[in-house]
Amino acid sequence: MIRNKPPAIAGQLDRCDVCGNKTHRHNLVRTQVEFLDVAAENYFEKSSYDGTYWVTDAPAYAHASAICYGTRCDNARTTLSPGNKITYVNGAPSWYGSGNIRTTVEAGPWNISSDLTFSAHVGPCESSTSPDMTVTLGITSNDGFLPQPIRTWSINTATRVWFNEEVSTLNDYGLGDTDRCFFFYIGISGQELTDTWWVDEMQLEANTVTGAPGNFVSSNVGSGEYISNQTERILMTSRKVCPACRERILSKSERFGKTNESPQADPVEAWVQEI
């Protein structure tokens, strides 16, 4: 059970990255742990809005910067400007009103002839009083003026929206300049001009097992590049942990006699951990 009320003292609070318990910062230490980086792929060069690879074709609605938490609320922080205005650090790309977001570069594995799965995380701002919204996913022309809807979602909270479609069906719409590569778009409607929403973690996959999107992998690579067939692998990271979750550190002298070598940690079982 996660505990959220440690004894009150004059100190800052934070959470242990392993058990999730809230504790005082002076009790937390950083340690290295192994984790399993799962298999994933993303044929988009950018998985977040950047104003170049992803653009909005609804100029009447101003880009609201990153004023929503999005899916990574544990990574977002609030900051107070000199004018007492609260803004977010590491927030999700956000907008007001309704409009479309689309790619300006064709995306897709040119050598895949089966099916594609397009997904994204979409949601209203956490402070929104009118969260109901309609999300339309599809492909479009290179200028965004010929949208072809594939699937529509009605949501009122953060949701991973997606569609799966055969490549041959997408080719039949005649909107791509190259077979198996397309311009994708996300359309938001049902929002008033004052309603705020966000879109993040766009992903394009090929030949998923069930058609539904798989494990998300963030992409921010160069032109013409993408993340294809990332295999399962074991990586090392650093985490802040409380006393109950710390691993016992063994020095070589405890096993082989006295030595000048640095302490060495026990191996950590490889399993999926959020970072």
Q: What is the pLDDT of residue 37?
A: 76
Instruction: Please report whether residue 6 resides in a domain.
Output: no
For position 203, which CATH number holds? 2.60.120
Measured CA distances, 165 to 154, 170, 171, 261 (Å): 19, 7, 10, 57
Same domain, yes or no, for 198 and 126?
A: yes
Q: Per residue in 36-58, pLDDT tens?
A: 778 889 999 999 998 899 998 76
- Please tell me the distance from the alpha carbon of residue 137 to that of residue 119, in angstroms, as a whole number: 8
Q: What is the pLDDT of residue 165?
A: 94
Same domain, yes or no, for 84 and 197?
A: yes
If one counts the domains in the chain, the total is 2
- pLDDT category at 259 given cuts 50, 70, 90 is very low
Look at the block and give the residue holding tokens 């995306």. 107
Instruction: Please report whether residue 271 resides in a domain.
Output: no
Same domain, yes or no, for 29 and 128?
A: no
**223-251 average pLDDT score:** 74
Q: What is the pLDDT of residue 16?
A: 86
- The yes-or-no verdict on residue 258 having pLDDT over 60 is no
The whole domain housing 25 covers: 13-38+234-265
Q: What is the pLDDT of residue 8?
A: 65
Question: 3-class SS at 123?
Answer: strand
Give me the DSSP letters along 218-233.
--B--TT--EEEEPPE
Same domain, yes or no, for 187 and 60?
A: yes
- The yes-or-no verdict on residue 275 having pLDDT over 50 is no
pLDDT higher at 145 or 238? 145
Same domain, yes or no, for 192 and 239?
A: no
Same domain, yes or no, for 246 and 126?
A: no
**Helices and strands per DSSP (H, E), number in the chain:** 2, 19
Where b means 16+ CB within 10 Å and e means fewer, 241-252 reads bbeebeeeeeee
Same domain, yes or no, for 254 and 191?
A: no
Instruction: Please report whether residue 54 resides in a domain.
Output: yes
- The yes-or-no verdict on residue 59 having pLDDT over 60 is no
> Which letter does DSSP use for residue 260 in this model?
S
**250-262 average pLDDT score:** 49
Same domain, yes or no, for 133 and 160?
A: yes
Cβ 6 vs Cβ 24: under 8 Å: yes
pLDDT higher at 10 or 204? 204
- The yes-or-no verdict on residue 10 having pLDDT over 90 is no
Query: Percentage of residues in the chain with pLDDT exceeding 70?
Result: 78
Q: What is the pLDDT of residue 109?
A: 80
- The yes-or-no verdict on residue 93 having pLDDT over 80 is yes
Q: Per residue in 221-233, pLDDT tens?
A: 766 667 777 777 7
**81-108 average pLDDT score:** 83
Same domain, yes or no, for 26 and 142?
A: no
Same domain, yes or no, for 210 and 240?
A: no
Where b means 16+ CB within 10 Å and e means fewer, 65-87 reads ebbbbbbeeeebeeeeeeeeeee
Entry pTM: 0.75
Cβ of 181: how many Cβ atoms within 10 Å?
19
Instruction: Please report whether residue 200 resides in a domain.
Output: yes
Q: What is the pLDDT of residue 222?
A: 66
- The yes-or-no verdict on residue 164 having pLDDT over 90 is yes
- How many residues appear in the chain? 275
**175-190 average pLDDT score:** 86
Same domain, yes or no, for 222 and 140?
A: yes
Q: What is the pLDDT of residue 88?
A: 74
Same domain, yes or no, for 190 and 254?
A: no
